[in-house]
Amino acid sequence: MALSAVLAFGGLQWGIPSVQAASLFSDDFESGSAGNWTSTTGTWSVVQDGSSHVYYQSGSSEGRTSAGSSSWSDYSVQADVKVDNFNGNNRTYVCGRYTDGNNYYAASISNSNGGTLEIRKKAGGESTTLATKTGYAITAGTVYAVKLELSGDSINMYVNNVLQLNAHDNILSSGGIGLIAYKTSAKFDNVIVSGTTTAPTSTPTATATATVAPTTSPTAAPTSTPSPTATAAPTATPTPTPTSTPTPTPTPTPTSTPVSGTLYVAPNGAAGNAGTIGSPTTLRSALTKIAAGGTIYMRGGTYSFSSPVTIERDNSGTSSSRKNIVAYGSEKPVLDFSGESFASTERGLQIFGHYWNVKGLEVKGAGDNGIFIGGNYNIIENVETHHNRDSGLQISRYASTATSMSDWPSYNQVIGVYSHDNFDPDNGEDADGFAAKLTIGPGNVFDKCISAWNTDDGWDLYTKTDTGPIGIVTIKNSVAYKNGQTSDGNTTTNSDGNGFKLGGDKIAVNHIVTNSVAFQNKKHGFTYNSNPGSIQLTNSTSWSNGQSNFAFDTGTHMFTNNLSFAGASSDKTSGTDVSSTNVWWKSNASANGKGLVVSSADFVSLTPSVVRNADGSFTLGNFLKLATGSDLIGSGTPSGTNIGATIQ
């Protein structure tokens, strides 16, 4: 039952020069032995299956077996999996960072709900689903290549070499691999572990010769290398997978050898400098020199620009070796584009390439978008973008010649980004916090983001007739508030002021919004904006918006566990009220189809509070938190799920 597999070690690599994927472990069981494995429960044996030997768990209870080293941290584990008998709707796991039966991450397959894929965590004996996808056909007797990829806090699940799910969690940092057949009879073969266990112990320290440093920031080196933001992912519907994955344009051979380790840039850096911590270069120079897998560390201070900084289309990392732009330690690099004129060509940071990670920066003052993403598979983390003269961050095609969706930006992740006070001085109609609109492909995700005080919308997913449908966008664990004017009161009559605007031009796109909050926006909290499709809106809260908290006039939308309270006008809710779990604001009252009635007493506090932390995460504290004894607690679906968002 052997399946050929192409394994790529993916994820974020911080300060590690020339990282290469390494083969850590493999077992095809053709020796007839499972001597590399330690089984603790179940009935395990090596048996013949067709022309191959496989590792078989035949018991009806949970079977667990493990291998590898407890020191492994960042790696991928893949196995061919064939379930002979699901014994109902039970699961089979391929596990990583496996310590014992009570501590591991897992890529799970089951035949429930038409086939279900999950990324699961078990820590301290408590199981949590980090990401899930239903409707993926899983049938008994069929071989699936299942891969779990772990890098920092990023967790990916692949099936048959196609990325299906992504989650973020950092509770478990290392461990071996495991195979689990939870009450199933399952066969495993061709187990391969690939990756690297190398990890930086500290950021390179300035030597005695490192005398040149920015005058606007400290010269002392931080105590540790910057690491990916720890972001525990909730149970959420994952990014849909397209029928084909866009292939990035390869980086051409440069005229000089790219730097494969680290480069340092500073506000007083010079293009001709070596790019060491003592002789920093410029950002534009570093962008042309850094190799895949390398990191550009930006020292703190203000970098002033009068034209866009562009990562060109042919300047890309790879799935296993990203290119990184990272704030140095706790310092704050500020990219100030105030020297630009107000014009559509005057953007700030333009990312046309693929597989870049940008973390810890501040971008402001651009003549158009602060950050513009036109490439694929990029990650923007813990960034603040503000006071730009169009949207703070926009995802759209990199050029007007990109007329096919296969050329449109796809699979980008925007995590922990704060976009605020963006103002369009022309008519106020274009300055959104986040714009993923007009010409974008599938798989773009916003997670743990804040959009506030923008003159137009918090999120704008607009489509128009002449370019057609866009890819499905996922928004989760995010908040939009006070959009429609800036924090100092600037507004225009043309500014919309929606929190989450999810469509346009009556074009159906089935966007996904989960565990998000809208409050005190000028217009609607959440609106379909003429999108007649099946938007999935789950466990989200909308309070005190200028018009409707939820405005979904037409469509077959799917509503689950949403909460609306104290809107200026009644909600419009065309679609399915799943299990009557949604509490709508209609006729000046908040109630659901089961007779549950909500009042201000159901909340600990209705005083707005949003506090953003240094790592990009944020909390609402007691604001909109359900009070002890509220009937909203545990009244959702599945049974025991709360109604409304949980962002605390």
Q: Which pLDDT score, from 0 to 100, does residue 460 have?
A: 97
> For residue 587, is it within any domain?
yes
Cβ-proximal residues to 229 (8 Å cutoff; 6+ apart), any chain: 153, 168, 359, 381, 382, 415, 416, 615, 616, 617
Q: Which helix (H) or strand (E) holds 56?
A: strand 52-57
| Residue carrying the six token digits 């534009």 | 284
Q: Establish if 648 belongs to a structural domain.
A: no
Contact 115, 142 (CB under 8 A): no
585-594: list long-range contacts, CB under 8 Å, 24+ apart: 585/548, 585/549, 585/550, 590/563, 590/564, 590/565, 590/566, 592/643, 594/635
Distance between CA atoms of residues 402 and 559, nearest Å: 35
Q: Which of 173, 196, 219 is the last residue of a domain?
A: 196
Active site residues: 501
Q: Which residues pair with 414 in a beta bridge?
A: 380, 446
Confidence of residue 412 (pLDDT cuts 50, 70, 90): very high
pLDDT at residue 335, rounded to an integer: 98
pLDDT value of residue 72: 93
> Is 603 inside a domain boundary?
yes
Tell me whether residue 239 is in a domain: no
Q: What is the pLDDT of residue 259?
A: 62
Residue with tokens 């408590």: 126
Find the CATH number of the domain harbouring 41.
2.60.120.560
Look at residue 16 in the predicted model and tell me its pLDDT: 24
Nearest-angstrom CA–CA distance, 574 and 577: 9
User: Is 432 within the bounds of a domain?
Assistant: yes
Q: What is the pLDDT of residues 588-601, one digit of tens each?
A: 999 999 999 999 99
Q: Which residue from 241, 127, 234, 239 is spatially nearest to 540, judged by alpha carbons?
A: 234
Token pair 């002449």 is found at 466
Q: In this structure, what token pair is assigned to residue 400?
A: 């007007």
- pLDDT tens readout for residues 41-69: 999 999 999 888 999 999 878 899 999 99
CATH number at residue 366: 2.160.20.10
pLDDT at position 237: 36
d(CA 325, CA 463): 31
* Strand intervals (E) in 477-560: 479-481, 500-501, 512-514, 517-519, 526-527, 536-538, 541-543, 550-560
Pick the last residue of a domain from 163, 180, 196. Answer: 196
| Percent of the chain with pLDDT strictly greater than 70 | 86
Give 3-state DSSP helix, strand, coil % of the chain, rounded to 5. 5, 40, 60
Residue 246 has pLDDT above 80, yes or no: no
Quote the pLDDT of residue 426: 75
Single residue among 146, 167, 196 that ends a domain in this structure: 196
Contact 280, 273 (CB under 8 A): yes
Percentage with pLDDT > 90 across the chain:
72
pLDDT grade, residue 152 (50/70/90)? confident
The residue ranking higher by pLDDT, 256 or 381, is: 381
- Average pLDDT, integer, range 424-442: 88
The residue among 449, 496, 446, 502 whose CA lies nearest residue 474 is 446
At 183-228, the pLDDT tens digits run 899 999 999 999 843 333 333 333 222 222 333 333 333 333 333 3
Does any domain span residue 294? no
Residue 199: what pLDDT? Answer: 32
Count: domains in the chain: 2
Helix (H) or strand (E) holding 289: helix 283-289
Residue 260 lies in a domain: no
- Please give the residue range of the domain that contains residue 592: 337-619
Give the 3-state secondary structure of residue 211.
coil
Length of the chain: 648
Flag whether pLDDT at 124 surpasses 80. Answer: yes
**CA-based angle 566:572:578, to the nearest 5?**
95
Residue 519 resides in a domain: yes
pLDDT tier for residue 425 given thresholds of 50, 70 and 90: confident
What pLDDT is stored for residue 428 in this prediction? 59
Condensed to tens digits (0 to 9), the pLDDT of residues 597-640 reads: 999 999 999 999 999 999 999 999 999 999 999 999 999 999 99
* Tokens (6 digits) for 535: 């938007």
Residue 229 confidence (pLDDT): 33
Higher pLDDT, 170 or 201: 170
